[in-house]
Each structure stands twice: as C-alpha cells, then as structure tokens.
C-alpha cells in the first residue's frame, strides 16, 4: 500500500510525520473522508470545497489547488489499484515549534490514504442498527463551528467508547441544550408523519456530504425534508430512523435507547433512500 505524503508516494511503513507536526501536537488540521465506487470518486468536488472552507476558517493555506488536490486523490487510488474504497485526505498545520502558535509552522502537510473500509457488518443494512444516547455532548458551535471538519475529534471518540461500553456500534450525541446534534460519525434522520427530518447544523450537526445528497434524493422522491431541533422523545416516537455518512452510507436504525423504532425493522422510506442512493453512486462522481 502506498500513501501520498507531501507530493510523494511512500510505502505504508514509511508514511510518517514529525513529532513536531502541529496536527499531532495540537490537533491543528482538517480532513475529509471520501468514497470510491467503481473507479469513480463520489462527490469529490463537494469534499474538496468543504476542505477549502475548513482551511479558510482555520487560516490554513492549502499548498495545492483544487485541481491538484483532485489529481492527487485520484492518483492515490490508481497507485493502490483500488476500484472501490475509502480515501482519507488530511491536511495538518505542519512542523513547528512547541507552543500553540501556527506562526512557527512554515507550511502544511498533505496526507492521502486510499484503502478498503467496512464500517458496519453487511447484516446491519438489512436488519438495522440499535444505537444509544451517550452522556458526552457535541461541541458547542460557539466554541468550534461544526462546519470545520477538524482533527479535534476527542468528544466523538469518548462518545464512541461509551457506546461500545454498552454494546452499541453507534451513539447519538446531544448538544448542550439537550437537542440531538448527530451521531459520533454519522448524521441522523427520522421519518415522522410523512416528513423526513434532520437536526439543523446550528444544533451542532456537520453538514455531511451524504447528508446533502439525501436532500437531493428527497426532492427526486417527492419526500418533504426539513431541518429542525429534535429531542430524544422525537426520535423514540419516529416511524423510521436512519443514519448517513461517507463511510457508513445509509444505515437503518431500528432501536434507540432500548425502544423499537416503528415496527423494529428498516422502514419503506429508509429502503427507498438506500435504493436511490446506490443508483446515484453508480453514475455520479469523478472518474479515475
């Protein structure tokens, strides 16, 4: 396996960064998770736009243009002989002195890992997932805007640990007002009274790329879609629930906090989104 590291492809064992990189020392950096389907990088331009927005928010100057970044992502897939897989694109602040100030870092580092990924077992997509709500809260948007996809993921990691301690593969994270924000790595949707509802980004939800695709698919399906505050009570009493994410894709949820959602099986609306999503990824993307 070859890893792209600042313009050069190196063996996995040699893909190393300095201990003085501020991405390691302070979590000062950004990333994108991107999917490859049948030699086609899904929603690559949208991912690179979000990367640029994150970089601008952090006053981090990207060393590559969008086209150069796109070429590097595609070449990473080709070099590793991938037709289907997952790409992790990381930009760190780069090597600097000890201390928070990025002014000591002369330039950022770009890392691209292209590999296989399986986030959930195959049966989860047919039988559904049971999730729980955990105590660790989502970062307040006033402290760190959720639109910045940064390397600061510690609260998500803690929430993932809490989920595992209770035998769950995924967990709902609330914001500091008690509203549903998102899961540890996925956006959340419910179906209620004929409408598909998802938390507003102002509640602490990331504007996920797959989340945005759901809005486009909802319009195609003629399904009303809205963003608004959701409580756990709303989720418990939903007719259906599903999660979306680049790695996860579209995941049916059949139980939340021990309460069955609907009839305890993946619902028809979720299945329709699953079907049209799989149709979409086969025709929409940047070819290698």
- Catalytic entry in 2, 149, 193, 255: 149
For residues 11 and 1, give the distance between their C-alpha atoms in angstroms, rounded to a whole number: 6
Asked if residues 213 and 237 have their Cβ atoms less than 8 Å apart, the reply is no
The answer to whether 149 is a known catalytic residue is: yes
DSSP the chain: -EEEETTEEEEGGG----TTBHHHHH--EEEEEEEEETTEETTHHHHHHHHHHHHHHTT---SS-HHHHHHHHHHHHHHTT-SSEEEEEEEE--B--SSS-GGG--S-EEEEEEE----S-HHHHHH-EEEEE-SSPPPPTTTS-TTS-BS--HHHHHHHHHHHHTT-S-EEEE-TTS-EEEESSSEEEEEETTEEEE--GGGT----HHHHHHHHHHHHHT--EEE----HHHHHT-SEEEEEETTTEEEEEEEETTEE-TTSS--HHHHHHHHHHHHHHTTSSEE-
Any idea which residues carry the catalytic annotation? 149
């Amino acid at each position: 396996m070859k890893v792209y590291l600042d313009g050069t492809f190196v063996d996995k064992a040699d893909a190393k960064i300095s201990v003085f990189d501020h991405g390691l020392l302070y979590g000062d950096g950004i990333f994108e998770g991107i999917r490859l389907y049948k030699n086609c990088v899904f929603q690559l331009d949208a991912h690179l736009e979000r990367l640029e927005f994150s970089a601008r928010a952090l006053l981090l100057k990207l060393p590559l243009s969008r086209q150069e970044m796109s070429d590097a992502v595609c070449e990473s897939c080709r070099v590793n002989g991938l037709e289907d897989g997952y790409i992790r694109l990381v930009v760190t602040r780069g090597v600097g002195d000890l201390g928070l100030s990025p002014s000591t870092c002369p330039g950022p580092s770009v890392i691209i890992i292209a590999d296989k990924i399986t986030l959930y077992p195959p049966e989860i997509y047919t039988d559904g997932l049971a999730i729980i709500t955990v105590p660790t809260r989502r970062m307040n948007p006033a402290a760190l805007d959720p639109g910045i996809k940064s390397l600061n993921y510690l609260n998500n990691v803690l929430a993932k640990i809490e989920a595992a301690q209770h035998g769950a593969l995924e967990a709902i994270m609330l914001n500091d007002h008690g509203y549903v924000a998102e899961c540890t790595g996925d956006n959340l949707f419910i179906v209620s009274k004929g409408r598909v509802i998802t938390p507003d980004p102002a509640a602490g939800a990331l504007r996920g790329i797959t989340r945005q695709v759901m809005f486009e698919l909802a319009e195609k399906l003629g399904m009303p879609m809205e963003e608004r505050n959701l409580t756990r009570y709303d989720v418990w009493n939903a007719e259906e629930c599903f999660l979306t994410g680049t790695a996860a894709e579209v995941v049916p949820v059949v139980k939340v906090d021990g309460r069955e959602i609907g009839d305890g099986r993946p619902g028809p609306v979720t299945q329709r989104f699953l079907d049209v999503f799989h149709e979409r990824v086969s025709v929409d993307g940047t070819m290698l």
